[in-house]
Chain A
Amino acid sequence: MIAREKLMRLKEKFGPAILRADLPGAGRLFVFVEPAALKVICEFVFRDLDARYVTSVGADDRPFSGKFLVAHHFAFDAEHLLASIVTLVPADQPSVDSISAVVPAASWAEREMRDLVGIEPVGHRYLKRLVLPDGWPDGVHPLRKDVPWNSVPAGFDDEREFQFDEPPEGCTVVPFGPFHPTLDEPSHFRLYVEGEMVRGCEYRGFMAHRGIEKLAEASLTYNEIPVMAERICGICGCVHSVAYVQAVENAIAVRPPARAEFMRTIMLEIERLHSHLLWVGLACHIVGFDTLFMQSFRIREPVMWIAEKICGNRKTYGLCLVGGVRWDIGPELKIELGQVLDRLEAEWRAVVGAVSKDTNIQQRTRGVGVANPALVKNLGLLGPVARAAGVDIDCRRDHPYAAYDRIEFQVITAEGGDVWARLLVRMKEVFESIRIIRQCLTIMKEGPLQLTMADELPVGRFGLSSVEAPRGESHHFVITGENNRPRRWRVRAPTYQNLQGVPAMIKDQQLADMTISLGSIDPCFSCTDRLETIDLKSGAMKVWSQVELEKLARQKP
């Protein structure tokens, strides 16, 4: 067994630093280690055992073990194993060695841990705020258990601003965002530009942080969370709800009925279809090719309609429950879905033919926004970005979930790692998705959709789940808890990793390529700013502060 073999290697090397280990079934490994040895063990796992970095989690475990919990997750993709290196940190001094020097991909996750749980990553080189707003008072960490979900901390400093680094010499600053026509959501890149060349950038995002994890840990229940999880993303919502329920199912070791697994697979692939069609359209729009943008959206529309017929909604399918699904596909819908797929395949073939022959698009995308395999490894880049660089990872095959273990499909990879390669990968994946749905429709058998669940779920169990979203791996981590809700639920969307790769992708590139490079990872960002009003009568100008705006908004008309 692979998990046991990895554990033996760790024990051999680090002996006494390994406190205990859990092997709760195939494909999962939890190793509890001494805090002092965390960094060297992670380095060994990441470099010597060549694991892929997934994410890091910080949790306030004080009410249960009296300590804080830190976990770094790694994936052994070729060996179908997800591993978690866990350590417990004393409550009076919540700090842990930063691993970002040896695992650069952990940079954001450690900053988030510092912001939200207040665990200090010692030795981290860039300790600016990541998630919390600039004016948030120091020392208040919203994900700690003693902070109520609806607390409004005193001392919010309206005047405090994010301190950006000094731009390099000879460069001018071009602010890209927080609002820009190619950004669907607020996000701020401060670009350092020399002429038309981008020399570097600094990122400040998380302007629409909604505190979903806190809400789930403090006031929702197990079966309410999938509905919330679906609203994490406007495009790949189903991915998050499936990933969440699978994490819970993984923690309590149950498996949904076969037909439910097939339903999940079908809906996930329908979601991938419409997401990829949307992306190809947007990418063409970014480089000024609006005709293809319109055509992809026309081709995409029937996919949205069939989704609405299956579950009553174009988006937010409301599909998942812990231990099952809520919707089924009847014989009539099955035929209709088949027809939609046939038409989609024919029309998409025409689009792919047109794009592949278009030298104009190739000129704008070849050699642009390159991410090489080393960058993919170091920053943990995912999905089409990794596959376009020739890194053959896909959770559907590597960590099979739902019904993917019973289905034949090809993982599409390409060479070059540029925007063109990502375009090719996404265009070809559409055909694979069509193939997957067709197979599901043929082989799925009648059967129940839901398990009968015991009233109480066991407490304190860990669950991991990775689901291949259209943009890459969505990873969810759950610690089951009391009161019919998890103690900790951590969501890591693929953009979280891919966005960290953007500064390297746009460095020393034309400014005109910035938008398509950023667009090529298919970013998914989720602010209250100041705004100016002018009194027409007196002509006086007034700048509204955030506090005043909030007051205005809460006033009854």
Chain B
Amino acid sequence: MNLLWSILCALANVAIVLLVAPLFQGVLRKVTAVVQSRQGPPVQQPYLDLLKLLGKEDIESGESPVMQRFAAYLSLATVLTVACLVPMGFAAPMNSAGDVILLIYLLTLCGICTLLAGLAAGSTYSLMGISREMMTMIALEPLFAVAIIVGVIHTSSFRLDTVLNGSVYAHGGFPWSGLVMLLVMTLSFQAFVQRVPFDISEAETELMEGPLMEYSGPKLAVFKFAQMAKLVVHSALFVALFAPWGSGLAFPLGWLLFWAKVSALVLFVTLVAATHARFRIDQAIRYFAGLLVLALAALVLAGYGL
């Protein structure tokens, strides 16, 4: 019964992410349009875009079409698996199925999918895209891991429900390590969801979409869907780790509050993306390196119980 219940809850999470991801994308595009003095597409446009792409002919192209297909599916599957592990207004559904170490692995797997996609295309531009993606991953992934590990140290637990509930502040009040990590994650969040100024590996005007250049039709739809879902899932993770307040409230309130917080985060991402120019890869890496130093300092602080 318990197992069945958690599977049902996990499926509910997956369904919600799939349903709202295009909506968030639509809002993002609309807000961007307003900032740019444009009318912008209707909010439901991303749903229609995905439907259109899904209905197109499935063309096999690039160096290895099999890997290309695999990368697209793996990408969406990974994001949706993460969705099963993250609390979204309720407790984390698959709480007993894994721990935060699994979560860190899965987040890295998202980046690996982009690498596979670029390798499958095999053109100069996509290879340059993945070399940039790889550099970004090496500098970026430790940040999220450190944030989670700070929580683990504070709570002395690897359990999802314990760590993903504002564990960075678990010592009561606002410990320094938690605040530093909040700063680090806020400053790097744009990169986790691959938006301007950190859309370096796809940079349309430089690399012509980089790793995604050979994608079209249904496969492109799957990849795009994964990217939209990533925005929701990462926002949910961020909220769970750094803004847990109110998650204990009764059903409609706590749930509504959670989605309000996620929406606010998406709005933040949109505004930053609309008001910045793209970083160059070396500038981005230097920026991440600075954040990494801060994150390591937070880890040391957490070790001393601060």
Contact = CB atoms under 8 A, between A and B. Distances in A.
Do A and B make up one complex?
Answer: yes
A482 interface: no
A364 B37 contact: no
Interface in A266-299: 284-291, 294-295, 298
B151 to A, nearest CB: 32
Interface in A157-190: 172-175, 180-182
B215 to A, nearest CB: 16
Contacts of A288: 196-197, 199, 203, 205, 276-278
Contacts of A173: 124
A4 B261 CA distance: 79
Interface in A351-399: 358, 360-361, 363-364
A515 interface: yes
Contact of B206 (A289, A295, A511): A511
A26 B281 CA distance: 54
B285 to A, nearest CB: 11
B277 A512 contact: no
B2 interface: no
B225 to A, nearest CB: 23
B171 interface: no
Interface residues of A, number: 30
Nearest to B35: A291
B277 A298 contact: no
Contact of B36 (A180, A182, A294, A514): A294
A298 B37 contact: yes
A384 B294 CA distance: 43
B52 interface: no
Given A358-B277, A363-B283, A511 B128 contact: yes
Interface string A511-522: 111110000000
Contact of B278 (A172, A287, A514): A287
Interface string B21-46: 00000000000100111100000000
A450 interface: no
Contact of B282 (A285, A361, A510): A510
A75 to B, nearest CB: 35
B63 interface: no
A196 interface: yes
A401 B281 CA distance: 47
A196 B282 contact: yes
B124 A172 contact: yes
B208 interface: yes
Interface in B176-222: 196-197, 199-200, 203-206, 208
21 contacts: A172-B124, A174-B125, A196-B128, A286-B205, A287-B205, A288-B196, A288-B203, A288-B277, A289-B196, A294-B36, A295-B37, A298-B37, A360-B276, A361-B277, A363-B280, A363-B283, A364-B280, A510-B280, A511-B128, A511-B206, A512-B206
Given A512-B200, A515-B206, 12 more contacts: A173-B124, A180-B208, A182-B205, A288-B199, A288-B277, A289-B278, A294-B36, A294-B38, A361-B277, A363-B283, A512-B203, A515-B205
Interface of A: 172-175, 180-182, 196, 284-291, 294-295, 298, 358, 360-361, 363-364, 510-515
Interface of B: 32, 35-38, 124-125, 128, 131, 196-197, 199-200, 203-206, 208, 274-283
